[in-house]
Amino acid sequence: MFEANVYNDGTLIVGRITGVVEPQSFINGIFWQIDSRNVGEVKDGFAQLYYDTDIEEIKVTEEDVRRIAEINSGIGINIGRFRTALVISHPEILSLAKLHQQLAQELGQEVELFETLDEGFAWLGCVNPEPERISL
């Protein structure tokens, strides 16, 4: 499952990956992000942080990550530049996140991996907007 919220007047997206992780959740997240930007909820030059917690099952493969990267590169061109911090602890998701990072960087996107939320938020230049809710 994938859930995301917008903070800091549209300049920050924080998303949580939890439960059963399926490729369609990520694809839906891409389209949600684009829609949110198109209606002005998410601002140009936004930053995003995604983290994992309470993972039950992973149904995402390397092939899925490559397909998601293709979708990002084709559709994402229209949403401008943004930075992505990934705070990943589950070993299988970490492996997939490293592949995502490599593919994204090949497309000129900024994606970095972190071990803690504090490190990820610091790299983005902001603080955790809801520390009581956004936690590991």
Domain boundaries, the chain: 2-124
Whether residue 113 has pLDDT greater than 90: yes
Whether the pLDDT of residue 11 is over 70: the answer is yes
Give yes or no for residue 33 having a pLDDT over 90. Answer: no
pTM, full prediction? 0.91
Binning pLDDT at 50, 70 and 90, where does residue 63 land?
very high
pLDDT at 85: 97
Q: Which amino acid is at 29?
A: G
Q: What is the DSSP string of 57-120?
A: EE---HHHHHHHHHHHHHHHGGG---EEEEE--SHHHHHHHHHHHHHHHHTT-EEEEESSHHHH
Domain 2-124: which CATH class? Answer: alpha beta
Q: What is the pLDDT of residue 34?
A: 79
62 pLDDT tier (thresholds 50, 70, 90): very high
2 and 124 Cβ atoms separated by less than 8 Å:
no
Give the DSSP H/E element, type plus range, for residue 122.
Answer: helix 117-124
What confidence score (pLDDT) does residue 27 get?
A: 86
Q: Please state, in angstroms and rounded to a whole number, the distance separating the CA atoms of residues 93 and 112.
A: 14
- Taking alpha carbons only, the member of 43, 55, 38 closest to residue 1 is 55
pLDDT above 60: residue 77: no
- Considering only CA atoms, give the Rg of the chain: 14
Q: Region 42-56: what's the mean pLDDT?
A: 93
| pLDDT more than 70, % of the chain | 93
pLDDT for the residue numbered 129: 97
